[in-house]
Amino acid sequence: MNIYEYRSYRAYLRERLESLGPKSGMKRKAAEKLGVHTTFVSQVVAGKADLSLDQAERMNVFLKHSADEAEQFLDLVIYERASEPRLRERFLDKIKRKQADHQQIHRRLERTREVGAEDQAKFYSSHLHGLLHVLSSIPKFQNRRQLAQATGAPPAVADEAIQFLIRLGILKASKDVVTPGETHIHLSKDSKFIRQHHTNWRLAAIQQMPFGEPSDLHYSLAFSCSEKDAGQIRESMLEHLQTLTKKIEKSKEEEAYVYCFDFFKWR
């Protein structure tokens, strides 16, 4: 359960302490950590009592929050305890900023860095550069000629792109062997190149559809749901992306794949 999904610390505690059922003993264990009776914890969850800041900090320890999660939990407690409208507004704005910041995909991924604007513009002018980076991780494509051929691009175009990526450090070359370099690029969602980046890969996916194999998956879905469920769906997608990234990093490089998904409110 992600604390950044919540605007109420009570709702968050309710799911953390009650999700495993009444026999889990979570409320009792939390009460022991806080030095209070179990009834008090139940009253807090039900909105009939409030945690003090000292108790909130002990709850942070009990729930094993990270430093950022602990700060968010304290902000939620202060927000709900406050009666002064301006103070409530101040902490609500702070909570919203942290939620937005947490949702940025670039905070979820590791080993990334941005290159200069001019080189970014060239890198994201085509899917070719990203494709070369992926293919270079696969042993059977690490010969320079085979790498260029695997892209399907004209030899001169592919070779120029390889040279460009070597200069950026995205690829490294030793004679005719080309492998991934130390530079990894990930765009922030507010980058002016992000739309072009997504467009490149979606166009590439469309171009590949006529030549697809039975194992390929292409899926589009439009649906309606509540705002709360939409937030949880979005968070689960981000968590899936984080899990997927870790799995990819551990996976043996054999073939190149493309994965695209979209999730947004229709306006």
Tokens of 137: 């991780």
What span, in angstroms and rounded, lies between the C-alpha atoms of 193 and 199? Answer: 10
Q: What is the pLDDT of residue 7?
A: 92
Tokens of 250: 């551990």
Q: What is the pLDDT of residue 189?
A: 66
With b for 16 or more beta-carbon neighbours within 10 A and e for fewer, the 92-103 pattern comes to eeebeebbeebb
User: What pLDDT digit, counting tens, does each position of 63-97 carry?
Assistant: 999 888 999 999 999 999 999 999 999 999 999 99
- What region does 9 belong to: left with phi over 0, alpha with psi -120 to 50, or beta? alpha
CA 94 to chain centre: 21
Which residue did the predictor score with more confidence, 187 or 132?
132
Class of domain 3-103: mainly alpha
Which residue did the predictor score with more confidence, 26 or 214?
26
Percentage of the residues of the chain whose pLDDT score is greater than 90:
38
Q: Where are the domains of the chain?
A: 3-103, 117-250
Q: Is the pLDDT of residue 22 over 70?
A: no
User: What pLDDT digit, counting tens, does each position of 118-165 carry?
Assistant: 888 888 898 999 899 989 989 999 998 999 999 988 988 998 999 889
User: What pLDDT digit, counting tens, does each position of 47-64 carry?
Assistant: 999 999 999 999 999 999
Model confidence, pTM = 0.53
Q: What is the pLDDT of residue 49?
A: 94
User: What pLDDT digit, counting tens, does each position of 128-138 carry?
Assistant: 998 999 899 89
C-alpha separations of 124 from 89, 121, 178, 259 in Å = 40, 5, 21, 17
Q: What is the pLDDT of residue 111?
A: 46
